[in-house]
Amino acid sequence: MIKPQYNKYLQPLNSPIQTLTDVKIGGIPAWQFGVKQRIQTRRVKASALSLSNIASLSTNGVGRGGFTNGATLFLSSTLTPLAPIAQFLNFAVPFVAIYQGTNLVSPDPNFQIYPTIGGSITPFSYTVQGMLDWHLYNGTTSAWGGAIQNNTGGSQQITFIVQWKLFNVNSGTQTRT
């Protein structure tokens, strides 16, 4: 009978684990193959799939301007995939905020108008609506649309900020408008 031998991790030297650490595929240890190898194929069918690091963040889109009492502004942000992925649907979530004032460097949460109301804003001094917009959505572009009416009794400046979080599964680029 052969006496069992063990490595420094107390793994039997003739075990499947030991074999996997020794066998190399294309210079990569077999146990690392699925981690370090880039695989290209037209179709993958799997009963379970674990993806990591597939979300990207856009830079902030920013708009600012002033409007008088009773006036209404329209607001929108679209995310459009560019060639060579222009025909593919993107999947993205917009994060939107509207502030009173035009401090673009660090908007003060006390002056937030939408979606929450900051402590320095009188409730219902603005009428705001906004949502993912079917009208601006054209099959591939993701879009947020909204409007804001000034009911404060005077002229106001506002800042509108949108940042998109998107699945970036194809390493493509997108443009914002």
Stretch that binds other proteins, among 25-33, 55-63, 82-90, 119-127 (CB under 8 A): 55-63
Q: Which is closer to other proteins, CB of 117 or CB of 136?
A: 136
Instruction: Write down the residue that tokens 């949108």 correspond to.
Output: 162
Helix (H) or strand (E) holding 42: none
Q: How many residues bind other proteins (CB under 8 A)?
A: 24
Q: Which is closer to other proteins, CB of 28 or CB of 161?
A: 161
Q: Give me the least distance between CB of 141 and other proteins, in Å please.
A: 13
3-state SS of 47-65 is: CCCCCCCCEEECCCEEEEE
Q: Give me the least distance between CB of 124 and other proteins, in Å please.
A: 19
Q: Which is closer to other proteins, CB of 33 or CB of 67?
A: 67
Instruction: Give the CA distances from residue 81 to residues 8, 149, 171, in Å, rounded to whole numbers and listed in that order.
Output: 52, 31, 11
> How far apart are the two ends of the chain, measured CA to CA in Å?
75
Query: Using an 8 Å Cβ cutoff, are 140 and 43 in contact?
Result: no
SS3 call for 99: strand
Q: Does 12 bind other proteins (CB under 8 A)?
A: no
Binding to other proteins in span 67-106, by CB under 8 A: 67, 71-78
Residues found near other proteins in the complex (CB under 8 A): 58-67, 71-78, 147, 160-162, 176-177
